[in-house]
Amino acid sequence: MNKNITINLKILLMPTLAIVVLTIITFVFAGVILDKINTVNADLDALSRSKNVLEAKLSTLTSISGESLTDTSEAASIALPEKNSALLSMAQFRSMASESSLVLENMKVGSEIKDSTTSHVDVTFDVEGPTEGVISYLKSVATIAPINKISKFKISSSGGNIRASVTSSSYWSGFPKTIPAVESPFEPFTADEQKLIDHIASLRKPQFVTLTPEGDSGRVDPFSL
**Exposed / middle / buried, residue 200 (Cβ in 10 Å: 0-12, 13-18, 19+):** middle
- Cβ closest to other proteins, residue 108 vs residue 188: 188
- Cβ closest to other proteins, residue 90 vs residue 137: 137
Between helix 191-201 and helix 67-79 the angle, nearest 10°, is 70
CB of 87 to other proteins, least distance (A): 18
DSSP 194-210: HHHHHHHHTSBPP---P
CB of 95 to other proteins, least distance (A): 20
- Cβ closest to other proteins, residue 99 vs residue 183: 183
The one-character DSSP state at 115 is: -
- Contact, 53 vs 183, CB < 8 A? yes
Helix (H, G, I), strand (E, B), or coil: what is residue 225? coil
Name residues whose C-beta falls within 8 Å of residue 54's C-beta, 6 or more positions apart in sequence.
Answer: 182, 183
- Cβ closest to other proteins, residue 1 vs residue 211: 1
CB of 92 to other proteins, least distance (A): 16
- Cβ closest to other proteins, residue 7 vs residue 105: 7
CB of 24 to other proteins, least distance (A): 11
CB of 89 to other proteins, least distance (A): 13
- Cβ closest to other proteins, residue 18 vs residue 204: 18
CB of 173 to other proteins, least distance (A): 5
Cα separation, 71 vs 92, in Å, equals 20
What 3 state SS string does 28-83 have?
A: HHHHHHHHHHHHHHHHHHHHHHHHHHHHHHHHHHHHHCCHHHHHHHHHHHHHCCCC
